[in-house]
Structure 1
């Protein structure tokens, strides 16, 4: 989920991997704390947005970029970050990513303007994209048997816990206003933790050698990155600037670059290289409806966090801490589903996906046009979490039809799409909310309008999930050591 909206990581297993004598707990503590910070920063900033807006006089579009910038760079660089770990070594890339993330956090906390804050949020996201793919790899390399199962369980708990703590910690830090720093503490809190991990990591994390033949698709990355930016930025900035001529031109250029990206990837594959996104993976049974569902469903979550935080601290006049606490039932319900769905019969799993998004759609309607009837927000957010808790199931069901040799690429593709869905949700539904709020002078009216939009998108996700649920294709092969969770 944001950016619960992180993570599904699929890594190759290492034969005879083992827990290093006496240091297994420390290894796990270091890598999971790094993962925790990355998840935390997807969510912790949302509660601070109204205070940040007042302090830096930020426009609505700038607030959207503060949220989306982190997720954009994370999504674009995630697959490349995993490949770099294969090439240069997972410990080395974990430390490099942690260094970039810590420096980016410090720069965000000291940013004098909204523009510089946005730039440093992109830097933070790049650090997370280098750091987090290595976590699963190091768990796979250093733990086996029951120890690995416990480590994966802790990993899943950290993902869910990071979302909960992000919402509450953001409100607590902003409300406490430590040293008069206000919203800046939500970024600066990462700095001492990052320094501690950088000091301990070289002494605890085992060294590993990369494989130079792993392959890094620079051509694909150099086309994919501007394609995403050219498509997303006009969606965020267009309304506030009056939709000048460059905005439709940018959207068209972004769409054209996606076409170029497909051509480039085909050429890389034809030359025997390893493309960023493999066409063979995209053609696997179930990947197309799973991709559509993960583009739509997480988009509603990213938009819901952004818009509802502004409403809770707007017309409802809740404090940052109170607005953060309002999301706890949502994340708790999400974690309840995410950690227990595997206990149900396997033939139920695909059918849970459209059912979950239908429940979320009903809850979005209540959050929007029906919320004025006195329905508690905590109950509505719990319903949303209950519905969106099916997102890990999507990835598991989709990967059942992907050959084991392509499982890592398939997992990386689905995670990237999930993050991009959150970006597009913030860009489009967030813009709708800000437009209605500006025109009506009421965040309540804006919440009503976006409730309808979120419900419609959730129903579209349910519709695309039906195609996944109705498939009867035999799985290609069992996929070993797969952990699915959503930040």
Structure 2
């Protein structure tokens, strides 16, 4: 069961990043505009972020097994449609459908783990989940480079979508056999979806994510800032409505008791910080390698293989380390990430490719990100009660996605703004600015735990 749900988790996350490497080829073959190719990349992420919490609650209402299979079927069908798309408009629409399928499927992964594993088995399962969650980002870069460079049967970019089809079909067959049947709903349990809360939340996330995704290309016009400000207002309205609904005995999208789980708020901050650093690092380094240094999609993708491999290794083994180390792993992981980010910027500062010196620091980046992320996620979810699994899953999955979007927008803007002249050296200078900002963000993530412990 764990292998089936984590395979789908990995496939969906892979799809977030695999298109980044294929984007130049898609733009050329479909004659897409700059805005069009941005929506091809971003349509998935926007639909995914907007519907994640809704997907979690639907799983709680209709059954986690059922919603997992429905989401996987939609994702697989949309992947086939993306691979066969004849134009930019079709591809954008099918990418949004892909994101919706992921939003229905992904929250069920954590919920199924929470409800079917206990004790040490749950800790191990959550560790595997955490390892899959962040290695999917780097693996997407690698897989995208391999598939685009291979140009299978002259199909160009299409295999980055079509590869999901046989995997999705196999997981559908296996999932139908191995996933536990959904338990019947207890008498008196709410069976309705909080539609006003859903609309408020969708407006909040949309107003936040759309300008983050499109703002850089449009040079941050007034509407982007108004949209960001509007997201704060809708967030306040959503919080007030949900609290009032809970007091009246209703069923809000996020149960207030979930927000009161010890450590859940701190974990959310840490997860957002590490995902922002991870996404910003991958995005800006990819721009430098492919745009400034002229590396092929394959070479740029393979550059991230050490980061992905070490992240997975550390994410799966940190629980076996001495017990006395456990409380320090997350702060030390953030500090190691900060050092690694500065080291990457320093190695590439002369405008070269970094040579052999680049790979040890990429390994250090993978280790730091794993230590900052995996124990934080596992610790937050280890104490969540099974009845709160859906809400906690939706909340942390949404935080993860928003962290990635914020990282790409913030560090991408810093990178583009830091380029003052053409050439690899100017790009390296901009990358160094990003490295300093990435390090500062990582240090802030480390400080969250230290301040809490001192209190």
* 1:380 and 2:327 matched: no
CA deviations 1:240-285 (Å, max 9, x no partner) are 3344332222222222111111112112211222323344433444
Deviation, 1:190, is 0.9
* 1:277 and 2:277 matched: no
Residue 338 of structure 1 is matched in structure 2 by 315
Residue 69 of structure 2 is matched in structure 1 by 95
Match runs of 1:209-220 below 5 Å: 209-211=183-185, 213=190, 216-220=193-197
Task: Tell me: CA distance 1:47–1:219, structure 2 relative to 1, closer, same or farther (3 Å).
Answer: same
Deviation, 1:63, is 5.1
Task: Tell me: CA distance 1:470–1:164, structure 2 relative to 1, closer, same or farther (3 Å).
Answer: same
> Distance in 2 between the 1:122 and 1:382 partners?
34
Deviation, 1:162, is 4.4
Match runs of 1:97-176 below 5 Å: 97-138=71-112, 159=133, 162-163=136-137, 165-176=139-150
The answer to whether the 8 Å contact 1:429/1:450 transfers is no
Residue aligned with 1:240, SS: coil
Match runs of 1:307-346 below 5 Å: 307-346=284-323
Residue aligned with 1:322, SS: helix
Task: Tell me: CA distance 1:176–1:87, structure 2 relative to 1, closer, same or farther (3 Å).
Answer: same
Residue 303 of structure 1 is matched in structure 2 by 280
> Distance in 2 between the 1:364 and 1:149 partners?
29
Aligned residues: 447
Residue 462 of structure 1 is matched in structure 2 by 443
TM-score (norm 1): 0.79
> Distance in 1 between the 2:265 and 2:121 partners?
35
Match runs of 1:157-196 below 5 Å: 159=133, 162-163=136-137, 165-196=139-170
> Distance in 1 between the 2:266 and 2:129 partners?
27
> Distance in 1 between the 2:231 and 2:158 partners?
33
Task: Tell me: CA distance 1:270–1:400, structure 2 relative to 1, closer, same or farther (3 Å).
Answer: same
CA deviations 1:308-358 (Å, max 9, x no partner) are 223222222222222111111111221222122222344533422222222
The answer to whether the 8 Å contact 1:68/1:423 transfers is no
Match runs of 1:40-59 below 5 Å: 40-58=14-32
CA deviations 1:351-383 (Å, max 9, x no partner) are 222222222222222333541353543223212
Deviation, 1:441, is 3.0
Residue 182 of structure 2 is matched in structure 1 by 208
> Distance in 2 between the 1:292 and 1:150 partners?
23
Task: Tell me: CA distance 1:323–1:232, structure 2 relative to 1, closer, same or farther (3 Å).
Answer: same
| 1:294 paired residue among 271, 283, 301 | 271
Task: Tell me: CA distance 1:387–1:143, structure 2 relative to 1, closer, same or farther (3 Å).
Answer: closer
Q: Which moved more, 1:349-358 or 1:123-132?
A: 349-358
TM-score (norm 2): 0.84
Task: Tell me: CA distance 1:84–1:457, structure 2 relative to 1, closer, same or farther (3 Å).
Answer: same
> Distance in 2 between the 1:443 and 1:116 partners?
36
CA deviations 1:162-209 (Å, max 9, x no partner) are 456433322111111012221221011112332344455545655434
Match runs of 1:72-87 below 5 Å: 72-87=46-61
Deviation, 1:101, is 0.3
| 2:326 paired residue among 349, 365, 377 | 349
Residue 362 of structure 1 is matched in structure 2 by 339
* 1:441 and 2:418 matched: no
> Distance in 2 between the 1:34 and 1:201 partners?
10
The root-mean-square deviation of aligned C-alpha atoms, in Å, is: 3.4
Residue 6 of structure 1 is matched in structure 2 by none
Residue aligned with 2:295, SS: coil
Task: Tell me: CA distance 1:377–1:92, structure 2 relative to 1, closer, same or farther (3 Å).
Answer: same
> Distance in 2 between the 1:151 and 1:236 partners?
33
Deviation, 1:239, is 4.1
